[in-house]
A = this chain, B = another copy of it.
Amino acid sequence: MSRLNLTTQRKAILDLVQSCEDHPTAAEIMERLRMNGHQFAYGTVYNSLRYLTDAGLIRELKLGETASRYDGRTEDHYHIVCKKCGRVDEVLSAPPAEWIREVAAKTNYDVHHSQVVFEGVCYSCKHPNA
């Protein structure tokens, strides 16, 4: 609840995550920072990722792999993972509100949020030629 404090480290990490086309893990983020000439402490990267996530500037994705991934896209959306090559793509269509209402009614929960991870085979893996 305090005002945003973007230090050099946090800004660099935010910029990097926002510039990514993919959804890197903390380890991948550290590697890319190093390639860009930065050298931050291990813990600082984790602290910054948590800080930026809490501030709502990036999102942490838990896709069922061992490590969290990070996403510069903050609007609500979902993901699909290719079980052949591991790539993670965006899913921009939201689950139908009707279904959410049904779930809320049947479970007696106030439903605040849903995390959806699709699994399948991506186009490139499906068509290895071309």
Contact = CB atoms under 8 A, between A and B. Distances in A.
Interface stretch (A4-12, A25-33, A86-94): A86-94
* Dominant SS among interface residues on chain A: mixed
A57 interface: no
A74 interface: no
B64 A80 contact: no
Identical subunits present:
2
A121 interface: yes
> Among the interface residues A83, A93, A103, A112, which one has the most CB atoms of the partner chain B within 10 A?
A103
Interface residues of A, number: 37
A42 interface: no
Interface in A84-123: 89-93, 95-96, 98-100, 102-104, 106-123
A3 interface: no
Contact of A118 (B92, B114, B118, B121): B114
